[in-house]
Amino acid sequence: MKKKRSKWAKKCSECGKVLRSHNKSLLCEVHYRETYRKENKEKVKLWNKNSYERNKEKIIKKQTEYNQRPEVKARIKEYSKKYREKNKDKIKEYDKAYNKRPEVKAYYKEYYQKNKHKIKVYNKENYRKNKDKILKRRKEYRKKLNLLPLYSSGKSL
């Protein structure tokens, strides 16, 4: 059986949806929310910020669990690879600008001072592992620039 509605029933002023009799704003849930957000932007920003601060641990935990799923990992990896290929120049410019910042330079300098020995050991080990590749690249580079061949210990590279 059909509900009998009064033809004098209140309706939303935006979409015409029938409202309850105690509704004084003459807006449905959706349109009331939109207008409230527009009128009280600062309040809403503050609420959202406080909400995030209160639930920060939960949100981060949930996000890390989600990102650990294999299908999600694969999708993220694929997307980031496409993005890096597409925006190679943009990323390069951003990196240059980022590394020129004084606070970043200071951080790198401080880090190097603290871990000088560790960095030297790492660089030596890296050179030892990749010596052939490094020498090959050098040789190709020098050939490209038409420079004299490099000599080390009497042998041509």
pTM: 0.43
What pLDDT is recorded for position 62? 96
Please state the separation of Cα 55 from the chain's center in Å: 20
Task: Work out whether the CA dihedral 43, 46, 52, 54 comes out positive or negative.
Answer: negative
DSSP secondary structure letter of residue 11: B
65-100 pLDDT tens trace: 999 999 999 999 999 999 999 999 999 999 999 999
Phi, psi of 24 (to 5 degrees): -100, -15
For residue 155, is pLDDT > 60?
A: no
